[in-house]
Amino acid sequence: MALRRPMVAGNWKMNGSAELAQDLFSKFARKIKDDSAEVVLCPPVIYLESVKRLMEENKEALSGSLVRMGAQNLSQHQFGAYTGEVSGQMLADAGCRYVIIGHSERRRMYGETSDIVADKFAAAQRHGLTPILCVGESGPAREARRTFEVIAEELDVVIEKNGTMAFDNAIIAYEPLWAVGTGKSATPEQAQEVHAFIRKRLSEVSPYIGENIRILYGGSVTPANAADIFAQPDVDGGLIGGASLNSAEFLTLCSIAMSA
């Protein structure tokens, strides 16, 4: 039986401030003394430096925990005339270990196709970053019973371009579009069903990857529903949007993951 360390990743989206980072750290430094779950903070790129500095300043207080930094997006290109974009190398230089890839907001609002997402996945790994690959179906797709088809398509493009073994250094986040930012979370059973499907699909090509990959659930996770979702056998923690902006709620989610 694989030992998968749970993870709680906070996606601030285009929210937050240097003050939020400060507030979060004054609470982290005092409260998180546990490495049984990994905690990843994904602030807007402009605050990566502040978060990195706070991590260094609180190094001693955080020594028993696993707090890391991640970005919310990266360019699929290495460098060049791509105004406004940030490369994998730049994120690695800034101290990121993780990067969210293919978030539904980027797929939907910025035209990121599965092909682009697969290229971003490769770009992240090229620079030593671990991609957190988001997949998920829309509400109409779920109603039409196309959930597995959509997830399989999103996964398969990345597998075809990068190979299954690339998932040895990756995290998957199942984020149903109808649950992200809506206040309507998937039920623990719905999450478990899709997580088991993802694990099985990867196991078919590599039992090792299927067994060991961490699959996070994301979509309106709160302290009220996290324990039941995180307790599911194929759920390895959460990707948290709204609740990551409230230090107390985020800390509670971290504690829940640590005891899951």
**CB 62 within 8 Å of CB 55:** yes
Site string for ligand PEP, 9-28 (x = CB under 6 A): --x-x---------------
By rule CB under 6 A, what count of residues binds ligand PEP? 14
Of the candidates 57, 17, 1, 10, the residue with the CA atom closest to the CA atom of residue 173:
10
Site string for ligand PEP, 40-79 (x = CB under 6 A): ----------------------------------------
Count the neighbouring beta carbons within 10 Å of the beta carbon of residue 230.
25
Hey, what amino acid is at 144? A
Q: Is 175 in the site for ligand PEP (CB under 6 A)?
A: yes
Residue whose token pair is 């605050």: 47
Q: Which stretch binds ligand PEP (CB under 6 A): 63-71, 175-183, 191-199, 224-232?
A: 175-183
- Helices 247-258 and 18-31, interaxial angle, to 10°? 40
Q: Which residue is nearest to ligand PEP (CB)?
A: 241
Indicate the residue among 29 and 229 with the shorter CB distance to ligand PEP.
229
User: Hey, is 11 helix, strand or coil?
Assistant: strand
Determine which residue in the list 130, 220, 225, 255 makes contact with ligand PEP, applying CB under 6 A: 220
Beta-strand relationship, 237-240 and 66-71: unpaired
Query: Residues interacting with ligand PEP, by CB under 6 A?
Result: 11, 13, 175, 180-181, 218-221, 239-243
The residues annotated with a catalytic role in the active site are 103, 175
